[in-house]
Amino acid sequence: MKNSEFRFPGLSKELIDLMQKAACKAKIHRLALVGGAVRDWLIHQEDPNRIANTPDLDFVVQGSATAFAEALVQELLPERIQTYRLHSSFDTVELQIDGLKIDLATARKEEYKSPGENPRVFETELEKDLERRDFTINAIAVELPKGNILDLHQGQRALLSKELFFLHSKSIAEDPTRIYRGARYAARLGFRLSSEAFEQLNSTLVTWPWSWKIGNPPEFAPPALSTRLRKELELLFKNEPWNLSIKYLQEWGALRLLDEGLQSDYSCLRRLHWSIRLGLPTLPALIIGASNPLSLAARLQLPQSQQNLLSQSLDLESFLLKSEVEHDCLNWSPVRWCQELEDQKWSPEAVALLACKGHKVWHYLIRWWGRWRHIRPSVSASELIKKGWEPGPKLGKEIQRLRWDYMEKEKIK
């Protein structure tokens, strides 16, 4: 490969030249940029007001990505390399060079033994690699060194019409996380789902091609309906206009992949909005609206702390539904709320999460969370110790009693 005249935002000429040198050494005959960086670059060229955002650069090589990465790092001083991570099962490499995130992948085709499982991958040529991708707008390659565009699936046309097209008719069945990726792109880029993609979604949801069904043991769900779906949701909340992404997923009917209850849960956005304002984790806040939140949390393999949070909130909800509590609690004083909520040791987050769910006593729960639980008695523990109290549970009880007295005396509301 010859030295390049090709320019790409964020990528220095020196690095492009070193990549070409490494490609020669590793006997890589074709090297191309693909995915989000190319898509955003083309969008920016069409409309310079739109920022070409390149958080990471995805390269695909015809040949071994590992051999290419090894040859490349040999060309660089060690202090220029911040990350060098090999993933041998897919022959991909994550690099960070001079602060720039670079993903290298061997051109591959994928074979799905059964829908939703992880695919088996086989080395192939660049053109075939583009067929395995999620949307046509992400299947455009820019080949180095010349920078010629390889657009075999009319990705540029889709960029102009701002539409999301899948690459083939089994795309969602093979990997249902793609529709969640689509909601992220639609919200971020202002694109819409093409009618073909929408039809594919509908027919896939109707036929439900996955051998695992909602209601089956969560631990048997295939990766694309469990951990990989969780990762997409995490990215959605972290990087995207999440409210628009969730709104699209609901409009498209795609929340059904998580749970039928969530699909028809129209308070979902309000709940998420409040949870974020209160600093609660978003996935439990989404999931608490499901028909079976604990099973969904287990399926997505939420961290144990988030599963516990959900289970505590649901436990508190059942407590508040008890016949002796349900009506009575509407007349409880602030002190009584403190006693009930604190005696049973529900975590403040669990109480706040149930408030965000819009439980009918949400305003008491919020007042406890935001105010009552922080109220301290006029006498502190150290003052009591100075007066002769021994540290320990008895002292704790006395502090609690003094706090309640104080709340009643001051008529705290």
Interface with ligand ATP (CB under 6 A)? 35-36, 55-56, 58, 133-134, 138, 175, 177-178
Measured from the CB of residue 286, what is the shortest distance to ligand ATP in angstroms? Answer: 20
When CB distances are held under 5 to 8 angstroms depending on the partner's kind, the choice from ligand ATP, Mg ion, none that residue 134 binds is ligand ATP
In the bound state with ligand ATP, the residue whose beta carbon lies nearer, of 183 and 290, is 183
Handedness of CA 152, 33, 197, 207 (dihedral sign): positive
Using rule CB under 5 A, residue 240 touches Mg ion: no
Measured from the CB of residue 373, what is the shortest distance to Mg ion in angstroms? Answer: 43
Q: Assess whether the previous peptide bond of 145 is cis (omega < 30° from 0).
A: yes
Using rule CB under 5 A, residue 36 touches Mg ion: yes
Among 21, 25, 44, 56, binds Mg ion (CB under 5 A): 56
In the bound state with Mg ion, the residue whose beta carbon lies nearer, of 36 and 155, is 36
Q: Residue 91: how many CA atoms within 13 Å on its side-chain side?
A: 20
Residue nearest to ligand ATP (CB): 36
Q: DSSP state, 219?
A: G
Please, which contacts does 362-370 make with residues 24 or more away whose CB atoms are closer than 8 Å?
364/329, 364/332, 364/337, 365/341, 367/334, 367/337, 367/413, 368/334, 368/337, 368/338, 368/341, 369/278
When CB distances are held under 5 to 8 angstroms depending on the partner's kind, the choice from Mg ion, ligand ATP, none that residue 178 binds is ligand ATP
In the bound state with ligand ATP, the residue whose beta carbon lies nearer, of 35 and 281, is 35
Q: What is the CA radius of gyration of the chain?
A: 27
Measured from the CB of residue 134, what is the shortest distance to Mg ion in angstroms? Answer: 11
Measured from the CB of residue 30, what is the shortest distance to ligand ATP in angstroms? Answer: 17
d(CA 309, CA 280): 10
Identify which range of 54-62, 118-126, 229-237, 285-293 contacts Mg ion by CB under 5 A.
Answer: 54-62
Measured from the CB of residue 188, what is the shortest distance to Mg ion in angstroms? Answer: 12
In the bound state with Mg ion, the residue whose beta carbon lies nearer, of 155 and 261, is 155
When CB distances are held under 5 to 8 angstroms depending on the partner's kind, the choice from Mg ion, ligand ATP, none that residue 138 binds is ligand ATP
Measured from the CB of residue 230, what is the shortest distance to Mg ion in angstroms? Answer: 19
In the bound state with ligand ATP, the residue whose beta carbon lies nearer, of 136 and 313, is 136
Q: DSSP state, 390?
A: P
Please choose, from the candidates 215, 395, 185, 224, the residue with its C-alpha nearest in 3D space to the C-alpha of residue 296: 215
d(CA 347, CA 189): 39
Q: Report whether 186 contacts 138 (CB < 8 A).
A: no
Measured from the CB of residue 305, what is the shortest distance to Mg ion in angstroms? Answer: 29
Measured from the CB of residue 150, what is the shortest distance to ligand ATP in angstroms? Answer: 13
What separation in angstroms does the CA of 262 have from each of 95, 292, 321? Answer: 38, 10, 22
Please choose, from the candidates 55, 8, 50, the residue with its C-alpha nearest in 3D space to the C-alpha of residue 162: 50
When CB distances are held under 5 to 8 angstroms depending on the partner's kind, the choice from Mg ion, ligand ATP, none that residue 200 binds is none
Q: Report whether 196 contacts 164 (CB < 8 A).
A: no
In the bound state with Mg ion, the residue whose beta carbon lies nearer, of 235 and 412, is 235
In the bound state with ligand ATP, the residue whose beta carbon lies nearer, of 180 and 337, is 180
In the bound state with ligand ATP, the residue whose beta carbon lies nearer, of 151 and 175, is 175
Q: Report whether 224 contacts 116 (CB < 8 A).
A: yes
User: What is the SS3 assignment for 56?
Assistant: strand
| Contacting residues toward Mg ion, per CB under 5 A | 35-36, 56
